[in-house]
Chain A
Amino acid sequence: MKDDNKKMEAFREEVFAWMKENKPSDPGFLLPQTFMEVGTEEQLDFLRKWQRKVYDAGYLGLAWPKEFGGHGLSPIYQQIADQEMALHRVPILFNVIGLGWAGPLILKNGTEDEKKKYLKGILNGDDIWCQGFSEPDHGSDLGNAQTTAVRDGDTYVINGTKIWTTFGNYSRYMILLARTNPEAKRKYDGLSFFLAPMDVPGVTANPIQKITGEYGFTETFFDNARIPTSCLMGEEGQGWTIAMQTLMFERSAEGGQASSYFMERVTMDDLIKSARTMTRDGRPLLEDPIVRDNLVQFLIEEKALALGVGRADIPALCSDYPLSLPLSGKLRATEFFRRMRQYAICLQGAKGGLYVGDDDAIEGGFWQRAYFNSFSATIGGGTSQIQANIIGEHVLGLPKG
């Protein structure tokens, strides 16, 4: 135990030093705070090189098996590396669908061949992954997905449209949820799960312009796109079950990720630092009693979120509703972020009306853009309203609507 602790501390010091030494300098363009905000080729190139560098240095995939490109260590080592990355506010690890969701899924359920084929490329950034779950008419209602996969010899023929595909136009592979049996009694039983290549004829990914004015997602069209039958994960009809497992990874209710450093943390520290530079009624803003009370409320909430993570590991303190903390994490955190970013704009006075590109915008319009982007988290991965249904039904046992 003592030896382990020593090893971990030594590792932390090593990562600390490396991050300090290798943190890239300002590239001259706004880097994305989250993986969902990658909108330009130059951002992507930059982040791809960065992930490669972190991987080559040995700070990514620490808990994944050696034979698939990992280091075979305890997950604690990855946590340490992630903490140091967050501390130094280095650029994010961008290949999230692979590192965070598809990778752990393949590790857990995949065949040996699948593990060999996919995992290393996820880690070194050669293979970018995207996710084909949501459809234009079925955002939160995943079980109703209408994209079809019809078996024809040794291929499946895919037809339909997916939307909100992060990296849709850059990806080599997609985790794809499609309907193989439209006749199934339960809509869920007709779904299957594919590890689908994107570089086949019939796949088109059109970038979508977001409320921020930037591009970050695609609408992805499948027009008789043929993929090999070997792309099917598990068996036909297991799509819903596998998709739910993926969502568990996505909602961080389960470990296994190659890293969790997918977004730069914007905290109350940043907001208060920003607020220190502002005035209201001719006085420093932080003297305003209402502003002070509001900020303290946010701080109480931020601390509860951080404490909740630790408490979730202590069963005796979660006895009433054991699933409550893990299942409500996304809802509470994303809603907190959204409200806090809007509040930051509210503090800016007249400058709250300026946007990215204006020389006078506070911090280059960081908070304005961050507020708009925060909706990708309150909507994506199941909207907050869907999350509230899930918590109400699965944690509290309330009847379905």
Chain B
Amino acid sequence: MLREMNIELSFDKEQAMIIKSAREFCGKKSPIASVREMVETDDGFETDSWDEMADLGWMGAAIPEEFGGFELGMGSVVPIAESMGRFMLSTPFFSTTLAGQAILRAGTLDQKKTWLPKIADGTIGTLALLDNADWGSDAIGCTATEKGGKLILNGVKWYVADAGVSEFFILSVNYKSAPALVIVNRGQLSGDAFKRHILIDETKRAFKMDFSGVAVEKSELLDPEASPAALRDLKLIGALLTAAEATGSAAAALDIIIDYLKNRMQFGKLIGSYQGLKHPTVEVLNQMEAARSHIYHAATIVGDQPLDVDMEIACRMAKAQATEALLFAGDRAVQFHGGMGFTYECDAQLYIRRAQWAQQQFGDAYHHRKRLAPLLLD
């Protein structure tokens, strides 16, 4: 017998307010000219905007009240992420939210008390999960070995988002032949540890980091009991947030397609009147709408507890659908702008680049469908 399809979807007034204010804020802070300005900067975002986001409570959205947050969960983080994607506003929101999730899901009580209120106040943190180019491998190349009462780290991590501005890092390591998570403070790292990736999406910042030789206290280990499940859940939540952002960016790509199709004349007609362009544009819309349905379903059911099978299905489906939608939207945005679309000046490049980035982050569509298959078919 197959699993019954979970199609729960709810949304309350509080979330409706957040979606509205996130839209307004991101729209105001991130007109496309500002997106292009940020591309040229080292950090990729403005500290002032970040502080305002902290004031709005966004970094504390998914943090429980007892640790200084607002306890709104993924139901509010997802619309914020979608709005950021919609206006291509890149900030360390994703890395910081995920670092908070790591501590919330696997941290000791002391770690929660220390870090979660700071995160809610805007302290930037990030995850270092990826050891190589394979999101599908569970093997952890980075190791932590006990020596003189401390843990000595060894290994390199990829795609450490916003590492340039992060105050702390949460690293997946192989410790006593089991997966573990450990906190590294910025002060423990030398400048040599950071090497900025040249990313296909120029609005993003990520680093290749060498943690070899770093020594941390054993108290920096997250709860070993909770860590394996948290590690799996962090990848799923990372996939969901990437999906939410990608859905927003797909809607933005659709906006510029529509705008061009309504204004560009060829052969004496507006090009949007040609079905060769109109029909695939409708397909971009439908793919984006499907993605929206999936991300809000996942946002409805994912809570603070370890993810169950329905939640895993929801996150994986959201990621598979949203990144495919954005790949199609970005691709068509370039093509439908004709010669202009081939230029760096045309904004279509922002979306086609974002699409390639979002596709691989936390595993591409094929990766997730492959993991969905046994959950749905066996």
Enumerate chain A interface residues (CB-CB to B < 8 A).
269, 272-273, 286, 289, 292-293, 295-297, 299-308, 310-311, 314, 316-317, 319-321, 324-325, 328, 331-332, 385, 388-389, 391-393, 395-401
Contacts and interface: CB of A to CB of B under 8 A. Distances in A.
A171 to B, nearest CB: 35
B7 interface: yes
B262 interface: yes
B372 A296 contact: yes
B166 interface: no
Contacts of B362: none
Given A388-B279, A399-B272, A328 B286 contact: yes
Interface of B: 2, 5, 7, 9-11, 15-16, 19-20, 251, 254, 258, 261-262, 269-270, 272-275, 278-279, 281-283, 285-286, 289-294, 296-297, 317, 320-321, 366, 369-370, 372-373, 376-378
A292 B377 contact: yes
Contacts of B285: 321, 324, 328, 391, 395-396
B258 A398 contact: yes
Contacts of B369: 293, 296-297, 300
Contacts of B11: 314, 316-317
A311 B9 CA distance: 7
Contacts of A314: 9-11
A273 B2 CA distance: 9
A328 B9 CA distance: 20
A273 B376 CA distance: 12
Contacts of A319: 19
12 contacts: A292-B370, A296-B376, A299-B317, A304-B290, A305-B290, A307-B293, A317-B11, A317-B292, A328-B285, A388-B279, A397-B262, A399-B270
Given A300-B369, A300-B372, A317-B296, 19 more contacts: A269-B2, A295-B377, A299-B372, A300-B290, A300-B294, A304-B293, A310-B9, A317-B292, A388-B275, A388-B279, A389-B275, A389-B278, A389-B279, A391-B286, A392-B278, A392-B279, A396-B282, A397-B262, A401-B278
A308 B289 contact: yes
Contact of A396 (B281, B297, B373, B377): B281
Contacts of B297: 303, 307
Chain A interface helix/strand/loop/mixed = helix
Nearest to B279: A388
B275 A293 contact: no
Contacts of B292: 311, 317
Contacts of B269: 399
B279 A385 contact: yes
A295 B373 contact: yes
Contacts of B261: 398-399
Nearest to B277: A398
A306 B7 contact: yes
A307 B9 contact: yes
A398 B290 contact: no
Given A293-B366, A297-B369, A300-B294, A316 B376 contact: no
B260 to A, nearest CB: 11
Contacts of A398: 258, 261-262, 272-273, 278, 281
Contacts of A299: 317, 372, 376
A316 B274 CA distance: 32
Given A293-B366, A311-B293, A398-B273, A316 B15 contact: yes
B286 A301 contact: no
A302 to B, nearest CB: 8
A232 to B, nearest CB: 36
Contacts of B320: 296, 300
A302 B317 CA distance: 11
Given A304-B290, A316-B11, A320-B251, A292 B296 contact: no
Contact of A303 (B273, B294, B370): B294
Contact of A316 (B19, B273, B283): B19
Contact of A272 (B2, B272, B275): B2
Contacts of B289: 304, 308, 321, 324-325, 328
A329 to B, nearest CB: 10
B317 A300 contact: yes
A397 B258 contact: yes
The 5 closest A-B pairs by CB, nearest first: A304-B290, A307-B293, A398-B272, A316-B16, A392-B278
A304 B321 contact: yes
Nearest to B254: A396
A317 B262 CA distance: 25
A398 B259 CA distance: 9
Which residue among B254, B290, B321 has the maximum number of chain A CB atoms within 10 Å of its CB? B290
A311 B274 CA distance: 31
A293 B372 CA distance: 9
B171 to A, nearest CB: 32
A401 B261 CA distance: 12
A314 to B, nearest CB: 5
Contacts of B378: 286
